[in-house]
Copies of this chain bind each other. A is one copy, B any other.
Amino acid sequence: MDLYQIRYFLTIAELGSFTKAADQLFISQPSLSVGIKKLEQELGISLFERRGRGVLLTPAGQVFQEKAQGIVAQYQAVRQDLEQFKEHPTLRVGTLHSIRGYNLAQLIGAFHAEYPNVTIELHNGYLQELQDWLDQGKVDVSMTWLQEQDDSNTSQLLFHQPLTLAVPESHTFARLRSVKLTDLDGQPYIARLNCEFWRSYPKLFESAGIEPQIVYSSTNEEWVISLIRAGMGMSIMPIWTDLECITYVPMLDLSLSRAIGLKWRSQQAFEAVAWFREFAMAHDWQV
């Protein structure tokens, strides 16, 4: 059962005649006879009742007609969907949880203004999730933390984001120009569990001979910020611009910084990815 046979069948059924259908389909009448005969043999049931003048659908033929129309409709629908996609492609962007929505919103907004036909789907996830999604094709490009081993063929740097100490603006640290690691000893500390550096913190604290007091830990950046703002503690974190009631204090003996950039798949041919990369590179990142 092939598409051409269904097209033939439907035309014959509609016109009630092999000859007329042959004219309309721009093929010869014997081609129709053979095609329908094969279809009937394959289905094991007669679809047309041959009469002296034209043909008539058998009961089975009428059953077949209804469904066949649905099949042809779906063929047309899938073509239409793909045309729709070509006109309005959907770019799926993976974004790291610890990148603030605010930064991204500016980029997405500007991109959409320049490429209004591209729909952007944001998929928020953790570092490993983003990599998996990229590998599995669930996202087309990711804005994520770049590591040294990342190839320039599959990634590009956007900006460096320093990690400094965030304290409530009411805290005594907020008036200092800088602090040292040892100053953190005994201070209430809020652990950011999703931070890529989190695993290295115990060693860091140990080597400095300090022991901050972990009062809270959270996987949610926004909650961490709320906790700091409420005066519950402090945390080493990327600088998020325009956060009220929070002050960032540089750390003299610690220069943590993470590289944020785009990652994609090497063989990726989706043109919207190229547009997005180019656009993100040209974007003025205020970090």
Q: Which residue numbers of A lie inside 8 Å of B, CB to CB?
A: 1-4, 43-46, 49-51, 56-60, 62-64, 67-68, 70-71, 74-75, 77-79, 81-82, 85-86, 89-92, 136-137, 140, 265-270
Q: Which B residue sits closest to A80, measured CB to CB?
A: B67
Contact B1 A79 (CB under 8 A): yes
Contact A58 B1 (CB under 8 A): no
Identical chains bound together, number: 2
14 A–B contact pairs at CB < 8 A? A2-B2, A43-B82, A49-B267, A51-B266, A56-B136, A56-B137, A57-B137, A59-B92, A60-B86, A62-B137, A64-B81, A64-B82, A70-B74, A71-B74
Choose among B4, B67, B81, B89 the residue that contacts A74 (Cβ–Cβ < 8 A).
B67
Choose among B1, B78, B266 the residue that contacts A68 (Cβ–Cβ < 8 A).
B78
CA distance A113 to B46 in the complex (A): 26
Q: Most chain-B Cβ atoms within 10 A of its Cβ — which of A59, A75, A86, A92?
A: A59
CA distance A140 to B89 in the complex (A): 51
**Contact partners of A268 in chain B: CB under 8 A:** 49
CA distance A89 to B78 in the complex (A): 33
**Contact partners of A71 in chain B: CB under 8 A:** 71, 74-75, 78
Contact A60 B45 (CB under 8 A): no
CA distance A140 to B60 in the complex (A): 12
Contact B81 A49 (CB under 8 A): no
CA distance A62 to B82 in the complex (A): 10
**Contact partners of A74 in chain B: CB under 8 A:** 67, 70-71, 74
**Contact partners of A265 in chain B: CB under 8 A:** 49, 51, 56
CA distance A74 to B6 in the complex (A): 12
Q: Which B residue sits closest to A65, measured CB to CB?
A: B78
Known: A43-B82, A63-B81. 14 other contacts (CB 8 A): A1-B75, A44-B86, A46-B269, A51-B267, A56-B136, A56-B137, A56-B265, A57-B137, A59-B89, A59-B90, A59-B140, A59-B270, A60-B82, A63-B85
